[in-house]
Amino acid sequence: MSNGRYSAKSQKQAARQVKRFLNKLPPKQRKIVTLIGAVVLVAFAVWYYWPEIKMMLTPDIPPAAETVQVADGEAEVYFFDVGQGDSIFIRVDDYTMLIDASVREAGDTIVQNLDALGVTELDAVIATHPHADHIGGMTQIIETYPIGTFYMPVLPDKDTPTTRTYENMLDALSEQAVRVEQISAATMISPPEGAMFTVYSPYIGDEWDETNDYSVVLRFSYGDVSFMLTGDAEAPVEERILETGWDASADILKCGHHGSSSSTTEAFLWAVDPEVAIISCAEVNDYGHPHRETMAALSEQGCEIYQTWRDGTVCVVTDGESYSVGTWSVGAGLRPVA
């Protein structure tokens, strides 16, 4: 053949010659020669077909988008990709707040993220409720950064957890002498200029059947742009928020309980009326999150839907009048959504 590749006839002749040669060798030498021949053959095949192999091994990566720079006077809200858990970071100029710290295994990731963002201290930290997928990495956060005020709900004695994760967090708060404040709908969190924090739940004296319903529900607004951050609060809490007459509207909704159908009820979703919905969960989890019912409701609402397992860390940047949604990572920085 003129293309430089062996013809089928040539290959057969070569194979017969090799076979005759091997048959003349003692069994032991025959095995050694056969093994060497196989290695040479594989090496030759790799060399010969390397362009095709390289093409298959190289992913089809589109050109990287320009990195987005955050300007002075803008607020940033990061929904960290931390697997099956929650961790949200808010920054307005020099003010910093962390809400939840996912599972213990995500502690290193959260610290790496905060370090990459230039964080050296946290003005406020909120533990929405004492489940391990929200406070698992909190001990590491407490031991790594100076904290201005640590906010957490106080549950009735019968509902107060006795888990090692919870006890470790309390021990770390005590050892680091962190100022701890019970958070409730009566709590006033001092905001940076142009921002406002409003706590919608829990109430002091609440008694719920589910620990999730003790979750802190926080509305963060910067100028005219608002965020509804719901922890794992479920339908009973959403119903009470609507009954109290709070302004539940928000441009961005962090869906409750990782997109479970026990949260983000139809009535609450219509009251919030978000343009963007963000779900924090792992691609594979034991709970089937996000549930089909939630996804269908969000689609019907016409929301842009982001999921951390698929999109990575989602970041919303706002100047108080408009906002943009991007993805962020330690290596790539902040990039606009394609």
pLDDT band at residue 24 under the 50/70/90 scheme: low
Helix 27-48 with 8-23: angle, nearest 10 deg = 160
**Is residue 251 within 8 Å of 221, Cβ to Cβ?**
no
DSSP letter (8 states) at residue 210: S
- For 53-109, the pLDDT digits (tens) are 444 454 443 444 456 678 788 999 999 999 999 999 999 999 999 999 999 999 999
pLDDT band at residue 300 under the 50/70/90 scheme: very high
How far is 336 from 212, CA to CA, in rounded Å? 33
- For 202-215, the pLDDT digits (tens) are 999 999 999 999 99
- For 313-338, the pLDDT digits (tens) are 999 999 999 999 999 999 899 998 86
How far is 147 from 119, CA to CA, in rounded Å? 11
- Mean pLDDT of all residues belonging to the chain: 87
pLDDT band at residue 21 under the 50/70/90 scheme: low
**Is residue 285 within 8 Å of 84, Cβ to Cβ?**
yes
Q: Decide: pTM greater than 0.85.
A: no
User: In this model, does residue 48 exceed pLDDT 60?
Assistant: no
In the chain, list all ranges with CATH 3.60.15.10: 75-336
- For 120-147, the pLDDT digits (tens) are 999 999 999 999 999 999 999 999 999 9
Q: Which helix (H) or strand (E) holds 259?
A: none
Beta bridge partners of 228: 219, 253
Give pLDDT, residue 101.
97
How would you write 61-116 as a 3-class SS string? CCCCCCCCCCCCCCEEEEECCCCCCCCEEEEECCEEEEECCCCHHHHHHHHHHHHH
Half-sphere exposure for 315 (CA within 13 Å, toward CB): 24
Q: What's the rounded mean pLDDT across residues 108-124?
A: 97
DSSP letter (8 states) at residue 319: -
| Bridging pattern class, strands 217-222 and 195-201 | antiparallel
CA torsion sign for 126, 129, 130, 133 is negative
User: In this model, does residue 282 exceed pLDDT 90?
Assistant: no
Q: What's the rounded mean pLDDT across residues 172-195?
A: 97
Q: What's the rounded mean pLDDT across residues 224-252?
A: 96
CA torsion angle 221 181 98 187 (round to 10)? -10
Query: In one letter, which amino acid is 32?
Result: I
User: In this model, does residue 40 exceed pLDDT 90?
Assistant: no
Q: How far is CA 113 from the centre of its chain?
A: 11
Closest CA to 297 of 274, 280, 326: 274
Which one is predicted more confidently, 287 or 68? 287
**Is residue 289 within 8 Å of 280, Cβ to Cβ?**
no
Give pLDDT, residue 20.
64
Give pLDDT, residue 78.
98
Choose from 4-8, 106-110, 160-164, 298-302 the range with maximum mean pLDDT. Answer: 106-110
Q: Which of 3.30.230.10, 3.40.50.620, 3.40.50.460, 3.60.15.10 would CATH assign to domain 75-336?
A: 3.60.15.10
DSSP letter (8 states) at residue 190: P
How far is 112 from 293, CA to CA, in rounded Å? 34
